[in-house]
Each structure stands twice: as C-alpha cells, then as structure tokens.
Structure 1
Amino acid sequence: MTAELARDPRPIFAQALDQAGKQVAAVSPDELSNRTPCADYDVRALLGHVVSVLHKLARVGTGGDARDVPDVIDGIADDGWASAFTRARSEVERVWADDERLDRMVELPWATLPGRHALEAYTHEFTAHSWDLAHATRRLAELDPDLAAQALEAFSTFAPPEERSEQGPFSPVVPVPDDADMYTRLAAYLGRQP
C-alpha cells in the first residue's frame, strides 16, 4: 500500500471540523440573514448546508445514499445551530472511526471514490465554508491558513479552471494580488469575491 493511499485523512478532517464548528457556534441569531459569498445562501442556509454535509457523510459511511439527505437542512431553531452541528459531527466521527471504511468505495452525488478521498474532499469543503461563514460574520482573523493552503492545493487538482462550466459549483477564478493571504487566494480560486 502506498503512503498516499495509507494516509489517514481523519486528523486533518477533525481540524477542519473544529474550525467550522467554531464558526458555526459564533453565529448569533441576528447574523442569520447576512449574505454569504455562496450565491444561493445566506448564513442560515449555509449553516443548513454544513449540517447537511455532515448528515450526507454519515449516510454514505454506512452504505446509504447521500442524495436522500437534502442539500440544506432547515427547521433548526435560531440558537440551535451549534448543537445541530455538534450532534451531526459526533455521528460522522462514530461512523468513520472504523478504519475499514476508509478504503470502502462510497457513492457521493458527484463521484464514487474510496472513503478516505471523500473525507479529504469534504475537509476542503468545510475549510472553504468556514471562510464563507467568517466572511459573512466578519471573523476572518480566526481561520487556520494551513487548512486553506491544503484546500487550495486540492481544489487546484480536482477543480481546475479549464474544467468549470456555468452549471458547476465553482465560478471562474477571481484575480487577486500575489501577496493575498491564503484564504483570499482560496476564495478567489473557487470563484468567490473576496
């Protein structure tokens, strides 16, 4: 088994969830209607999406279909997002604690791949959405630049600009200065307006 294949994605996934969890917990009810850099989401909808992704990961980890979970969970009380995130995270960590799940193929809405690669992909999604939440609530100073550097490297591989379309999840790359911080570079690469 190669070192690449054998790498356990769960520690870095946990770091991304720690960061996302802090952003979720910091959101106050009066910020729920703030616009986010995600075109279709205000803060409430983005929180619903983040919680949904955790439910999807738990579902595919047990062999279920992620498409059975809506893209945005709603019906959460204004002050209940942190506990909803924590409960969903606990379930994901319970499901993915089994090492055998890392090499089992999982079917996601956008690909079928080994579990370890699914966790890596969602590590980067949580990193990007942490920036989205921090940007919408003006908490940018609280983000880990190492997570952004890893996400930017990964997105450069599996979401190259030349393969994007108007129907895809990423808009064209937005130009930023060469000395932009890592999260600004990541957001711009994903087509957000930093």
Structure 2
Amino acid sequence: MTTTQIDEEALMNDPRPALIRAAAQIGDLVTPDIDLDAPTPCEGWTVDDLLAHLVTVHRRVAHVGRGGHPFDLPHQIRQDDAAAYVAALADGRREITEVWEADDAILEREMTVPWGVVAGRAAAWGYVRELAAHGWDLATALGAADTLDPELAAVVVDRVRETLPADPRGGDIPFGPVVEVPDDAGPYDRLVGWLGRDPAITVTR
C-alpha cells in the first residue's frame, strides 16, 4: 500500500488525493489469481460480485465527474476472470484521475450522485467513503485486512461521522445500525463500525 502522508488540513478542501488513494488501495488487493468465489462480509456477495460492483463505482466516479447520471451505469459490471478485473480497475483508476484532476473547478460543480445533487467536493467525499468501506470488505474477504492503509481510514472516519447520522438508518440511508467499537479501536474498525459493519466478523471460506 502507498505510504505517502496525507495532508489532513488540505484534504478538507480537496478530497481528490484520498479518492485516488482509496481506488489504488483496492487495485493493490486484486491480483490475477484472486479467488472470485470467496465469500465477503457483504451478505450474499462473493468476491466476484463485489469486484463487479467496484468496477461500476470506479466508472461512476468518472462519469458523474463529467456530468453524467450515476444510474446510467448498472449496479455491477462483471468481468470474465480475475485478470480482467485487474485491468478494468486499473482503467477505472486512470479515468478517475484524468477526470477529477483536470480542473479544480470540479470541486464546486454540481453533480448528481446516488444520494442527491451535491457539489463535486461532497461527491468525492461520498465516493472516498464507499471505496474505503469496500476496500475493507474486499480485504476482509481475502484475509488481508491487516494490509489496509490506516492513514486513509483515519482521514475518512471523522468526516463520515460528521456527515452520516447514527440514526435513522435504512431506506435512503443504506447502512445498518452503528456497531459499537472500543474507544481505542483502529481507524478502520471505527470507520466500518460507523457504517454498520462488524469489524470483528469472520468470513467463512
């Protein structure tokens, strides 16, 4: 994983470095020999299902940045095999970088995302949250949660707690109840717990 330090103060104004870093973290986890049939913490989803969704998320990030509607793309874009997922996610990261770094004005531009019409800065934060959470889902499925970037989670978790209420959940807020974690829990445990995931979950292979 990347170890380049995140400037937290700058990130408040510009979440794009965290967005790209969250996408890169997922790419680091996906290899041509990954087990696509392995279960994940996402109920009913295999690694194949999760990666198919992550391909969509990558493309949506770029698509909404260009002014498109997120639901122009399907919920999942399945690939033929693990090597194809490696290529699709790498292409998605390249596209995200090209679209979002081309013009700083993108942070102020209104765009449509699944949770409403928001400024680009808020859209980017929302996708940082999604990619960071799904990065944990994927790493947990692969038995690699200890390889995740704690600094990324640390800069995301406080923002998520500020913008995503603990109550209500469900309906238009597609997260389960907050899972309480110890006060000294690591940043990923605090992040996924707030998003309704149990950081102590064991995935049965």
| TM beyond 0.5 | yes
- Judging by fraction of residues, say which structure has more helix: 1
* Residues 1-194 of structure 1 mapped to structure 2, 5 A cutoff: 7-25=13-31, 28-29=33-34, 31-96=35-100, 97-165=102-170, 168-194=173-199
Identify unmatched segments of 5+ residues in structure 2: 1-8, 200-205
C-alpha separation between the residues in 2 aligned to 1:5 and 1:38?
A: 29
Is 1:124–1:150's contact at 8 Å kept on the other side of the alignment? no
In structure 2, the residue corresponding to 1:113 is in which secondary structure?
Answer: strand
CA contact (8 A) 1:36 1:42 kept: yes
Give the count of matched residue pairs: 190
Q: Which amino acid aligns with 2:174?
A: P
Structure 1 stretches lacking a partner, 5+ long: none
**Structure 2 CA distance for aligned equivalents of residues 62 and 143 of structure 1:** 30
Over 3 Å counting, the alpha-carbon distance change for 1:6 and 1:173 in structure 2 is closer
**AA of the residue aligned to 1:49:** H
Q: How many Å separate the matches in 2 of 1:99 and 1:175? A: 38
How far apart in 2 are the matches of 1:89 and 1:178?
Answer: 34
Instruction: Give the partner amino acid of 1:89.
Output: R
Superposed displacement of residue 71, structure 1:
1.4
TM-score by length of 1: 0.88
Contact 2:60 2:73 in 1 (8 A): yes
For residue 106 of structure 2, what is the amino acid of its counterpart?
R
TM-score by length of 2: 0.83
Task: State the AA in 2 paired with 1:20.
Answer: I
Evaluate the alpha carbon distance shift between residue 6 and residue 181 of structure 1 in structure 2; reply closer, same or farther with a 3 A threshold.
Answer: closer
Shift of 1:150: 2.1
Q: Give the root-mean-square deviation of aligned CA atoms.
A: 2.2
Q: Report the alpha carbon displacement of residue 156 of structure 1 after superposing the two structures with TM.
A: 0.9
SS at match of 2:30: helix
The code of the aligned residue for 1:11 comes to P
When residues 8 and 177 of structure 1 are mapped into structure 2, their CA distance, relative to the original with a 3 A threshold, is closer
CA separation of 1:33/1:63 partners in 2, compared to 1, >3 Å: closer, same or farther? Answer: same
How much has 1:36 moved relative to structure 2? 1.4
> Identity rate of aligned residues, in percent?
40
Indicate the SS of the match to 1:80: helix
